[in-house]
Amino acid sequence: MCRNCTYACPWHLFTINENDIFPKIGNQELCVSCGHCLAVCPTNAIIHKDFSNNNSHAINKELIPDFNSVNELFKARRSIRNFLSKQVDKKLIKKAINGAQFSPSTNNLQTTKYIVVQDKEIIDSIRKYTTDYIYRTLKYFKNPILRKTYQLFTKNDPENIKNMLRDYEGIVNNIDDGNDLVLHNPPALLFFYADKKIGFSDVNAALALQNATLALFSIGLGSFYAGYVVAAAKSNKRILKILKLSKDYEIYGCLAIGYPRLKYDRWIERKKPDIKWY
């Protein structure tokens, strides 16, 4: 008997005694339905109430990229901010969302939910509400007393606030010149949101988003993290409203998506990683 399930289960719910033919399961209420027991069983012997044979599949190991392929993917993926004005095939966005579903999540809760917006009017409204937020924030931070209060209250580095002001001013000046530095005219937006009462929902969403980003890249789509929209959605309830989300939910990520207009042929060095080894 291999005992793989006894080792793989995060809660060690399986036990196998000397003369047992099958493993025994205890404390089933702790099971998070991660499926490790099924995935690791060489004889497909585990029967689990949440899974049937239909949702357990053999991994095609030949398709798993080696380190060099994964590493090249990491370096080649860039934030894309120039899109063709062509609608994105829903099937491709669905593929990226399916990829996002395989990211880790706290206790396998899979908290992240998704909204895809391809309606131009809704995208335009989101851009407007986000720029409203940027104008308001800029006005607020231009007041030295409010700026100082915010900085003390949030223990923010004054340098950060200075940089934020610089960025927001850049955006506002560009809006005035007719440029969209908030969304860069994408044909689609993909929102990652979750019930805000569940712990680590934000982290789960960020991990899901990164899977989606890499999946989008691998199918020829470009994307960038629309951070201003995420920031605006925290204080501008109109963004939640237009997405038909109640106040129980929070938006934790937003990708602007489209077919890339530019081709990147080179990868650029990053900072050397700051690592401590103990």
Ligand X SMILES: Cc1cc2nc3c(=O)[nH]c(=O)nc-3n(C[C@H](O)[C@H](O)[C@H](O)COP(=O)(O)O)c2cc1C
Which CA distances in Å does 228 have to 83, 102, 266, 278?
18, 26, 28, 38
135 interacts with ligand X by CB under 6 A: no
- Number of residues lying near ligand X (CB under 6 A): 8
Mark out the alpha helices in 11-119 (DSSP H runs).
36-40, 67-76, 90-100
Among 129, 224, 252, 259, binds ligand X (CB under 6 A): 224
Residue nearest to ligand X (CB): 227
81 interacts with ligand X by CB under 6 A: yes
133 interacts with ligand X by CB under 6 A: no
Length of the chain: 278
Q: Which is nearer to ligand X, 4 or 137 (CB)?
A: 137
225 interacts with ligand X by CB under 6 A: yes
Q: For 246, phi and psi rounded to 5 degrees?
A: -80, 170
Among 36, 48, 78, 113, binds ligand X (CB under 6 A): 78
199 interacts with ligand X by CB under 6 A: no
Q: Which is nearer to ligand X, 32 or 203 (CB)?
A: 203
Stretch that binds ligand X, among 66-74, 76-84, 121-129, 243-251 (CB under 6 A): 76-84
The dihedral built from the CA positions of residue 194, 204, 272 and 217, taken in this order, carries a sign that is negative
227 interacts with ligand X by CB under 6 A: yes
Among 55, 69, 79, 163, binds ligand X (CB under 6 A): 79
Cα separation, 254 vs 225, whole angstroms? 6
Stretch that binds ligand X, among 44-52, 77-85, 108-116, 137-145 (CB under 6 A): 77-85
Among residues 245, 247, 260, 229, the alpha carbon closest in space to that of 125 is found at 229
Residue type, 6: T
The encoded tokens of residue 156 equal: 């923010």
Binding to ligand X in span 8-27, by CB under 6 A: none
Beta carbons of 81 and 224 less than 8 angstroms apart: yes
Binding residues for ligand X, rule: CB under 6 A, are 78-79, 81, 224-228
